[in-house]
């Protein structure tokens, strides 16, 4: 078990707005909230990397760019270019979606090459890399095989979901990924995490990063529980 302060828990959060109709005002609010609550990252569509980096200049809040989002149906070259473009525009974390057509075809060499291209680009820039599996569309064997490939390639994180498909993160998937991926690769849970209980359950299952848009309500709910209990930390 580990002891978490409220700030420790906030530092697990990728505060997210990936809606295609997000306005500049929405993104400004997202960045203001991340700064106020000391979330680890704002996660946005890659075209918004420079705008959010400018808003967060002088803070330690990271800018995360979603690549090949949400379908993953672009070429390796396209994803690699989008990754480098986002990094050059101020992103320092990358969340990319695997090509599920190639996963379903068991074209594991392609999947490995794609993952390596993104991870190498991130490593060159000193950036965090996250591989989105989209578990709701995968079999157990496919999830495990992706974990095995990630163990070879060593992204910073493997991630459960985009939050834009038929399902999101589950405790069972987080446990499965934590069990089957190399211990040096972390697990990110995202999609459908809307309450304090959701976040805490994912952390207990092994997640070391949480992607959510309900971040404010979640962190305020946890803060309220701490106040009621007269504690300044919790054990998970």
Positions marked active-site: 95, 159, 188
Q: Is 212:190 a contact under the CB 8 Å cutoff?
A: yes
Measured CA to CA in angstroms, residue 212 lies from 6, 118, 126, 194, 227 at distances of: 16, 23, 24, 7, 23
Q: Residue 112 contacts by C-beta under 8 Å, 6 or more apart in sequence?
A: 149, 152, 153
Q: What torsion, rounded to 10 degrees, do the Cα atoms 121, 126, 128, 129 define?
A: 20
- In the Cβ-directed half-sphere of 168, how many Cα atoms lie within 13 Å? 16
Rounded CA gap, 228 and 222, in Å? 10
Rounded CA gap, 115 and 112, in Å? 5
Measured CA to CA in angstroms, residue 48 lies from 18, 64, 235 at distances of: 10, 10, 36
Rounded CA gap, 165 and 234, in Å? 32
């Amino acid at each position: 078990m580990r002891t978490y302060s409220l700030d420790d828990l906030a530092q697990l959060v990728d505060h997210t707005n990936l809606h295609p109709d997000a306005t500049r005002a929405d993104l400004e609010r997202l960045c203001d909230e991340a700064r106020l609550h000391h979330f680890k990252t704002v996660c946005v569509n890659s075209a918004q990397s420079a705008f959010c980096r400018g808003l967060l200049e002088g803070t330690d809040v990271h800018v995360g760019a979603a690549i090949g989002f949400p379908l993953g149906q672009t070429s390796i070259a396209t994803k690699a270019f989008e990754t480098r473009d986002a990094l050059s525009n101020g992103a320092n974390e990358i969340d990319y979606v695997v090509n599920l057509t190639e996963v379903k075809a068991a074209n594991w060499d392609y999947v490995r090459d794609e993952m390596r291209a993104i991870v190498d680009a991130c490593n060159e820039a000193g950036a965090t890399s996250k591989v989105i599996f989209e578990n709701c569309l995968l079999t157990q064997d496919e999830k495990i095989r992706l974990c095995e490939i990630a163990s070879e390639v060593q992204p910073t994180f493997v991630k459960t979901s985009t939050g834009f498909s038929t399902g999101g993160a589950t405790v069972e998937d987080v446990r499965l990924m934590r069990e089957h991926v190399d211990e040096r690769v972390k697990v990110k849970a995202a999609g459908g995490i809307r309450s304090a209980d959701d976040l805490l359950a994912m952390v207990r299952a092994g997640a070391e990063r949480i992607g959510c848009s309900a971040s404010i309500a979640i962190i305020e709910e946890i803060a309220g529980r701490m106040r009621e209990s007269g504690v300044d930390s919790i054990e998970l």
